[in-house]
Structure 1
Amino acid sequence: MPDVRFQRVAVVGVGLIGGSIGLALKARGVAAEVVGVGRSERSLGRMRDAGVVDLATLDLSEAARGADVVVACTPVGEVAAALARAAQACPAEALLTDAGSTKVQIVGDAIAALGAKAPQFVGAHPLAGDHRTGPESARADLFEGRVIVLTPTDETDPAALQRAHDFWSSLGAEVVETTPERHDRGLAATSHTPHVAAAALAAATPAETLDYAATGWADTTRVAAGDAALWRDILLQNRECVRDSLAALRARLEDYDKALADGDGPALERMLLEGKERRDALGS
């Protein structure tokens, strides 16, 4: 029997993440209706063809009207404005949340834009994804067993925070809480700087050597295939934390360079082992 917890969920921006939210809600039977909001008729056609929503519309107000939950899955710079428009049409008690990869700026901008509705907003970031984009790549199981980070503030309504836990956990995810600042520091180290490193390595690889590229190069540079404009905005929003993380990476690279210049095998092995141990700690 379906366990319907939400009568209407409005998903603003239906790409990989938004589409996977729609598929997960539908597959688990926890939403009576999933409405997707797009920017163009072409985007509506793509989400319909992928079957990720029940209704597709260009009208954000129409989608938000009567919604229990509004999820902004837009580029990070558009989250606050999308939620502010939705807040004008949705019920007073509706949960407003997002899926952005940065939190300090999104949370600050959303609180400022939402005014009296700010207590209904709970910032969120699903630690799940793929370098592929678009609703065609969406998966109903994308969030299963993955972590969703919530970033409530002193202004957050406790009832809205509970609804956020209920919503995100209904997709099969493990839900945790932290501050926007701690989130951004952590993601700079584990996501944003690795993306820069992957892109830099890919760009530094001479085209004529790609015939020799195998799984090591492909695995290391996989995320460099992500949307450049999307990642530009993420990096700029979290630029201070990313710069700190890049400084730490730069220092490590200089240590490797010095060990190579000195022919220092023990130092190289020690650093490689340290990296292996840190990677092994994550598990497979």
Structure 2
Amino acid sequence: MTRWEQAAIVGVGLIGGSIGLALRRSGLARRIIGVGRSAANLQKAIARGAIDQLVLESAGELPEVDLVIVCTPVDHVAKHVAWWASSSAQGALLTDAGSTKARIVSDVDQQLHTQNPRQTRFIGSHPLAGSEKTGVEFARENLFDGRVVVITPSDHTAPSAIEEVEVLWKSLGAGVISMTPTAHDEAVAATSHLPHVISSALAAVTPSDLLKLAAGGWLDTTRIAAGDIALWQQILLENREPVLAALTKYETELNSWRRALEQRDAAAIETLLQQGKTIRDAVGN
């Protein structure tokens, strides 16, 4: 059943391309428009079936759409939402896929409060899905199946936007959790951003002449260090304070490990291993 006549995906990479493919699978959008800076990349998205039409960011006029999903780096999201708020259909739904939320939601709320002639409705989203791979060539229609999407309504969010964005993500295969933007950023600092820092640090301290000995443990732990550098630089700077807080807790835990090893404390080592195993086992595979 079609719910949106025209949907625009701004930034058609892994996430944006997967949204396009999943939208097509769900049948919720009659036409899907891809927006970006590179015509060559958008042509790849058309070839993959992720979008029907391309529009370059440099175009003087944006098409009128009733659903916009912004999948650009986090420092560009608010700007793109503002652009589309002035050209989308009356009452269009605007959302994003950014990994941080507090500043994005605050900036967009302020912009739409002062200038929103089309009465568009914005609500922040963050699909907890992805890969160290980037680009629309890695997009797949089932990327969100069984995954979680966090939505972050604010005091300015229209109830209808909450309802519609839940329909959107559930139709793409995901479960939906609602959190405040600040609570979201604190949570993902611990579950996503800190692991990336740790992964990158572990890879960086491994001598290159020992890489031939790298086995499953090292490969599993450092996989995400292969992610896009520019993207992660922006995420970590955007969520700096929560990541620093998470790093402080991690450093405390590392100090417990150091003391246990220095003191040859077998009981403490067993306790630390058991604590980690218990948490990991609770997640499953």
TM-score w.r.t. the length of structure 1 is: 0.95
Structure 2 partner of 1:21: 19
Structure 1 partner of 2:131: 130
Question: Unaligned stretches of 5+ in structure 1?
Answer: none
Q: Is the 8 A contact 1:70 1:86 kept in 2?
A: yes
Q: In the aligned structure 1, how far is the partner of 2:98 from the partner of 2:216?
A: 30
Cα distance per residue 1:170-223 (max 9 Å; x no partner): 111111111001100100000000000000000010001101001110100111
Q: In the aligned structure 2, how far is the partner of 1:204 from the partner of 1:46?
A: 37
Q: In the aligned structure 2, how far is the partner of 1:107 from the partner of 1:132?
A: 27
Structure 1 partner of 2:181: 180
Structure 1 partner of 2:270: 269
Secondary structure (helix, strand or coil) at the match of 2:75 reads helix
**1:245 maps onto 2:246 in alignment:** yes
Letter in 2 for 1:191: S
* CA shift for structure 1 position 119: 6.7
Q: Is the 8 A contact 1:81 1:113 kept in 2?
A: no
Q: In the aligned structure 2, how far is the partner of 1:213 from the partner of 1:123?
A: 39
Q: Is the 8 A contact 1:96 1:121 kept in 2?
A: yes
Taking only the aligned residue pairs, the percentage that are identical comes to 48
* CA shift for structure 1 position 112: 2.2
Structure 1 partner of 2:88: 90
Letter in 2 for 1:98: D
Q: In the aligned structure 2, how far is the partner of 1:178 from the partner of 1:63?
A: 35
Letter in 1 for 2:29: A
Secondary structure (helix, strand or coil) at the match of 1:139 reads coil
Q: Is the 8 A contact 1:14 1:36 kept in 2?
A: yes
Letter in 2 for 1:176: I
Correspondences of 1:98-247 after superposition (within 5 Å): 98-114=96-112, 115-117=114-116, 120-247=121-248
Correspondences of 1:47-58 after superposition (within 5 Å): 47-58=45-56
Cα distance per residue 1:132-186 (max 9 Å; x no partner): 0000000100111111111001111111221111112111111111100110010
Q: Is the 8 A contact 2:2 2:27 kept in 1?
A: yes
TM-score w.r.t. the length of structure 2 is: 0.95
Q: Is the 8 A contact 2:73 2:231 kept in 1?
A: yes
Secondary structure (helix, strand or coil) at the match of 1:145 reads coil
**RMSD (Å) for aligned C-alpha atoms:** 1.6
Q: Is the 8 A contact 1:8 1:32 kept in 2?
A: yes
Q: In the aligned structure 2, how far is the partner of 1:22 from the partner of 1:168?
A: 12
Q: Is the 8 A contact 1:98 1:125 kept in 2?
A: yes
* CA shift for structure 1 position 70: 0.4
Distance 1:163 1:152, change over 3 A: same
Q: In the aligned structure 2, how far is the partner of 1:197 from the partner of 1:237?
A: 18
* CA shift for structure 1 position 50: 2.6
Cα distance per residue 1:30-80 (max 9 Å; x no partner): 211110001022222332233211111104878853312101000000000
Structure 2 partner of 1:72: 70
Q: Is the 8 A contact 1:123 1:151 kept in 2?
A: yes
Letter in 1 for 2:44: R
Q: In the aligned structure 1, how far is the partner of 2:157 from the partner of 2:131?
A: 30
Secondary structure (helix, strand or coil) at the match of 1:93 reads coil
* CA shift for structure 1 position 17: 0.4
Question: Unaligned stretches of 5+ in structure 2?
Answer: none
Q: In the aligned structure 2, how far is the partner of 1:151 from the partner of 1:23?
A: 24
Q: In the aligned structure 2, how far is the partner of 1:151 from the partner of 1:135?
A: 26
